[in-house]
Chains A and B, each alone.
Chain A
Amino acid sequence: MVPFAGYEMPIQYTSITSEHLAVRGLAGMFDVSHMGEFWIRGPGALDFLQHATLNDVSKLKVGRAQYSMLPNDQGGLVDDIYVYRTGESEYLMVVNAANIEKDWAHLSTLTQGFEVELENASDFFALIAVQGPHAVQVLQKLSDTDLVSRKKNDTFMGKVLGKWARFARTGYTGEDGYEVFVAPDEAKAVWDALLAADVTPCGLGARDTLRLEAGFPLYGHELTDQTSPLCTPFSWVVKSHKEFHGKQALLERPCQRKLVGLQVEGGIPREGYRVLKEGREVGLLTSGTHSPILKQGIGMAYVDSALDEVGTALEVEIRGRWVAARVAETPFVKL
């Protein structure tokens, strides 16, 4: 167990590799109750979110969810988030656990001039993510709400073990599955029922290897208050046809380096390792691990913009050795 954003969380229950493979092959579950949840309500909720987030919230229908980001006024990011439209003028924002207080303070400063109310509901939700090719059919056994025919990024109220919960067909593994928001005192019963249905409990270790294989960023690593999303593969989130907080700074910020995926032959890349081109430093690893599916080292790195083409041959410095690496497509695995 390790302390994480005020919670005690397991790195692994049994082994990172076996938990990882369970999610890719069958079904695994994650207790991600540490994530933060904010309600955004009121007649000005849409306009407020258009101002505070980068994606186009006007495209979001009731019962749908979108990945997005909170820009600062320096061309960097306060956080990356998920926005769920739960009603005509009601949205739920899910934020990173380590950023709850920072995001809350930031969003509170932006509400002026908008008819909107924010509520920090982080303590009122437990969150269980059930992920993998069999996840939906297993979860369906605990629910008489139709889960199977819903689409990716759908969100709705339904029942699990006879109790109301919010379902979202979203996740952080690249697999099909649901994230289920339940009342904290009902979480254990849901977890135990999934355990009895042979869903594999997964810790923070597998959560990280799965998201890396899927090519997803982690705030504090790939995304920070100093990084522009326009210099990453997630630039699609930025909808520059609308106005938003810090827009000019974001659009004017140049990309000296770009975020790429790296595949490494004969070593495990780790955060902070140097990326070289014929011995010259051209970048830094922001995350790295061993891919249980590819059985080789993978990572993400900011490298000089001219070197961001898939296939570009580079090196990663691992304990003084130069190990061959190449810029790779993300996701690293077929999902």
Chain B
Amino acid sequence: MNYPSELKYTKSHEWVRLEGDVAVVGITDFAQDALGDVVFVELPSVNKTVEAGEAIAVVESVKTASDIYAPVAGEVTEVNSALADKPELLNQSPYGDGWLFKIKVNSADLSGLLSAAEYQAVAEGQ
């Protein structure tokens, strides 16, 4: 299982990469493996204002539907429209082409999120 050290994480299995004041968000390698084959992704509307911890997307595998939470507060600026036709990108490239959405953050302070080592302990401790 892969836990890139440059990313921040949530206990609910999202990852965050800060690019200036924009947070790119996806689900972790651990999460995609647990979900299995992803077949449908429901993404938030662009310009939507979101709170940290708000359920704003849904990833469905053959097995189950799973809520995705905004790791940070802000405004959605972009969603990964390639996932509409290729939801399997979430399995193939969870930290790359399988990203979910971008949020223009209210605050660039991500200290409330987990480091790679902290997240790994949470994920594998479950």
A290 to B65, Cβ gap below 8 A?
Answer: no
Contacts of B1 in A (CB 8 A): none
Binary CB contact string for chain A from 230 to 270 against chain B (1 if under 8 A, 0 otherwise): 00000000000000000000000000000000000001101
Number of residues on chain B facing chain A (CB within 8 A): 11
Q: Which residues of A contact B39 (CB under 8 A)?
A: 17, 268, 290, 295
CA distance A292 to B88 in the complex (A): 12
Total number of residue pairs linking A and B with CB closer than 8 Å: 37
Within 8 Å of chain A (Cβ to Cβ): is B113? no
> Which positions 9-37 of chain B face chain A at CB distance < 8 Å?
36-37
Please indicate the chain A residues that have their CB under 8 angstroms from the CB of B37 in the complex: 15-18
Q: By the criterion CB–CB under 8 Å, are B63 and A16 in contact?
A: yes
Q: Is the CB of A270 within 8 A of B65?
A: yes
Contacts of A16 in B (CB 8 A): 36-37, 61-63
Cβ of A269 to closest chain B Cβ, rounded Å: 10
Q: CB distance A12 to B40 under 8 Å?
A: no
- A268 near B63 (CB under 8 angstroms)? no
A20: min CB distance to chain B, Å: 8
A270 to B66, CA, bound (A): 13
Residues in chain B near residue A18, CB distance under 8 A: 37
Interface string of A266-300 (1 = CB under 8 A from B): 01101000000000000000000110100101000
Q: Chain A residues with Cβ under 8 A from B60's Cβ?
A: 267-268, 290
Is A205 among interface residues, defined by CB-CB distance under 8 A?
yes
- A residues in contact with B42, CB < 8 Å: 267, 319
Closest Cβ–Cβ distance, residue B113 to chain A (whole Å): 26
Q: Which residues of B contact A12 (CB under 8 A)?
A: 36
Of all chain A residues, which has the CB nearest B67?
A319
B123 part of interface (Cβ distance < 8 Å): no
Cβ–Cβ < 8 Å partners of A319 in chain B: 42, 58, 65
B62:A209 contact, CB within 8 angstroms: yes
- Residue from B40, B61, B63 within 8 A of A267 (CB atoms): B40
Q: CB distance A289 to B65 under 8 Å?
A: no
Chain B residues 36 to 85 lying within 8 A of chain A, measured CB to CB, are 36-37, 39-40, 42, 58, 60-63, 65
Distance in angstroms from B3 CB to nearest chain A CB is: 22
Q: Are B63 and A11 in contact (CB under 8 A)?
A: yes
| Contacting residues, chain B, for A289 (C-beta < 8 A) | 62
A15 to B37 CA separation, bound complex (whole angstroms):
7
- The 27 sampled A-B contact pairs (Cβ below 8 Å) are A11-B36, A11-B63, A12-B36, A15-B36, A16-B61, A16-B63, A17-B37, A17-B39, A17-B62, A18-B37, A205-B36, A205-B62, A267-B40, A267-B42, A267-B60, A268-B40, A268-B60, A268-B65, A289-B62, A290-B39, A290-B40, A290-B60, A292-B62, A295-B39, A297-B40, A319-B42, A319-B58
> Top 8 nearest A-B pairs by Cβ distance?
A290-B39, A17-B37, A16-B62, A268-B60, A15-B37, A268-B40, A290-B62, A15-B36
